[in-house]
Amino acid sequence: MALIVQKFGGSSVADAESVKRVAKRIVETKRAGNEVVVVVSAMGDTTDELLDLAEQVSPEPPSRELDMLLTAGERISMAVLAMAIADLGEDGRSYTGSQAGLITDSAHGAARIIDVTPGRIQEALAEGAIPIVAGFQGVAQDTKDVTTLGRGGSDTTAVALAAALKASVCEIFTDVDGVFSADPRVVPAARQVPYITYEEMLELAAVGAKVLHLRCVEYARRFDLPIHVRSSFSHREGTLVMSPAAIAAAIAEGKAMEQPIISGVAADVNDAKITVVGVPDKPGQAAAIFGALADAGVNIDMIVQNVSAASTGRTDVTFTTPSGSAKKALSAIDAKRADIAFEDLIIDEEIAKVSLVGAGMRSHPGVSATFFAALADNGINVEMISTSEIRISVVTRVDDAKKAVKALHTAFGLDADGEAVVYGGTGR
């Protein structure tokens, strides 16, 4: 008997009808001979409605109280889902994050899970029940206050609980069929990826693929827990996110075809590019800039420093940051204008970050050459470059992003009609 953790997001439980459909699916899984633990998000727009209400009484509500308020959302969805399951004749029982043993630190609004003690969930399973756990929430170890986990929180709850329960898989139900080689709205020929490694998924999540949150993939990697991303609207197999060893085993057993070199292409248009112009080229200037940004809590992605002009002894430092942090970044640097003695500060929000991700590029030379040739052939100018072992990212004009993604998708043989190439080995 396998133990399966199933996570359903807010859009999967948006109204009573959806809740009943999800309940049916859960009961099917249980009656197929599995133990099932469910993690659920707040229904549809509940969270937004609660945030609206908070705004009406206070412009800056205390984060402890905001957490107390928002956790009412999952309390509603989990109780209703448990009722729908009971109506189908199974013993659905809802549990808050606290009752399910999701112990966190006390960073309200963005709490980190520090322990999972799912004693009550195990008891419920032993009694043949289907435990329904509230996603996104926990209880602070020191203050015993209710906390929320922040963005991607429900996925992280599901993975953490699956790891603690030693589940065989954590199924994340979403409104798409799985992970695709590119956004199907941009590249109609994009194909669903049957297997992907944690590392590739992390890189994809970091560069704008929105299927899974970074945090939940990191958690799964740490515990080597397979994640199955699949659609709540169909019974098709989705994408399995696993370790390279697990994928190799699946291939050896003939359950999977050989892994492609490149797993996907993604574009992120939510970054801004900031250039600090005419920075005196002497030691400590970069530290001053990035120290100021760190103090202001600004996350930095790509960084480029020009070779300094011999005539002026000055250089330009350019970096990218999420658009939402751009204003904070500008004022943090402007506040150090006297210390850094730069000449100008320029922001450019009309950029996109286009990325190619694939564990195979480690062992296959020539990926970079194909990458840049494809962009050049399509007349796309590259403004910044950043690479990891399994990723190449470039900054382009935002208007070029879709063209770039399509060009790369084709160049690396990922288009659906090039099937043999995609799973064939060399990929070029």
Interacting residue ranges for a second copy, rule: CB under 8 A:
16, 19-20, 23, 50, 53-54, 56-59, 61-62, 64-66, 68-69, 71-73, 75-76, 78-80, 82-84, 86-87, 92-94, 96, 99, 120, 144, 146
What spatial distance separates the first Cα and last Cα of the chain, rounded to whole Å?
A: 43
Q: Shortest distance, CB of residue 145 to a second copy, whole angstroms?
A: 8
Q: Shortest distance, CB of residue 77 to a second copy, whole angstroms?
A: 9
For residues 372-401, one letter each, b for 16 or more C-beta atoms within 10 angstroms of the residue's C-beta and e for the rest, the string is: eebbeeeebeebbebeeebbbbbbbebebb
Tally helices (H) and strands (E) across the chain.
14, 20
Q: Shortest distance, CB of residue 132 to a second copy, whole angstroms?
A: 9
Question: What is each CA distance from 312 to 151, 278, 307, 308, 309, in whole angstroms?
Answer: 45, 9, 12, 8, 6
Q: 10 Å Cβ neighbour count for 269? A: 15
Q: Shortest distance, CB of residue 14 to a second copy, whole angstroms?
A: 12
* Residue 400 · residue 381 · CB < 8 Å: yes
Query: Judged by CB, which is closer to a second copy: 84, or 274?
Result: 84
Whether the CA torsion 48, 52, 57, 58 is positive or negative: it is positive
Closest CA to 212 of 188, 241, 169, 233: 241
Q: Could you give the CA distance from residue 426 to residue 428 in angstroms, rounded to a whole number?
A: 6
Beta partners for residue 137, in sequence order:
148
**Beta strand ranges found along 163-238 (DSSP E):** 169-174, 195-197, 227-231
Closest CA to 91 of 132, 130, 39: 130
Query: Judged by CB, which is closer to a second copy: 57, or 307?
Result: 57
Q: Shortest distance, CB of residue 8 to a second copy, whole angstroms?
A: 14
Taking the CA of residue 330 as centre, how many other CA atoms within 13 Å lie in the half-sphere pointing to its CB?
14
Q: Shortest distance, CB of residue 35 to a second copy, whole angstroms?
A: 20
Question: What is each CA distance from 94 to 157, 210, 336, 427, in whole angstroms?
Answer: 14, 28, 52, 47
Query: Judged by CB, which is closer to a second copy: 73, or 264?
Result: 73
Q: Shortest distance, CB of residue 186 to a second copy, whole angstroms?
A: 38
> Residue 339 is inside which H or E element, if any?
helix 337-340
Query: Judged by CB, which is closer to a second copy: 45, or 383?
Result: 45
Q: Shortest distance, CB of residue 295 to a second copy, whole angstroms?
A: 27
Q: How many residues does the chain have?
A: 428
Place of tokens 């600004």: 298
Query: Judged by CB, which is closer to a second copy: 20, or 215?
Result: 20
Query: Judged by CB, which is closer to a second copy: 50, or 251?
Result: 50
Query: Judged by CB, which is closer to a second copy: 78, or 374?
Result: 78
Q: Shortest distance, CB of residue 17 to a second copy, whole angstroms?
A: 8
Query: Judged by CB, which is closer to a second copy: 40, or 209?
Result: 40
Query: Judged by CB, which is closer to a second copy: 87, or 349?
Result: 87
